[in-house]
Structure 1
Amino acid sequence: MSCKKLKMICFSPTRTTHRILDAIAEGVGAQQLEVLDMTRTDNVPESCDCADDLVIIGGPVYSGRIPLTAVERFKVLKSCGSPVVPVVVYGNRAYEDALVELSDIVTEAGFKTVAGAAFIGEHSFSTEKTPIAVSRPDEDDLGKAREFGKSLAAKLADGTLAAASVEVPGNRPYKDRSPKASASPISNDGCQLCGSCERVCPTAAISVGSLVETDPDKCIFCCACVKVCAFEARKLEVPKLLEVSQWLADNFSARREPEIFI
Structure 2
Amino acid sequence: MPKFSIIIPTYEHTELLERALQSVITQNLVDWEVIISDDSISNDVKDYVESLRDERISYLKHNKGVTAAENWNFGMQAAKGDYMILMHHDEAFTVSTQLQCIAQAFETGVQVVVSNIEIEKDGKTSKGRPRWLKKLALRNPSLLLLCNAIGPTACVAFRQERKQPFNSQLSWLVDAEWYYRMLKGATTLFLENISIRSYHGHQGQLSLEMNALEAFKHDQATINKTHSSEPCVRYMTILYGCLIMRTKKIFCKR
Q: TM-score, normalised by structure 1?
A: 0.28
Higher helix share: 2
Q: TM-score, normalised by structure 2?
A: 0.29
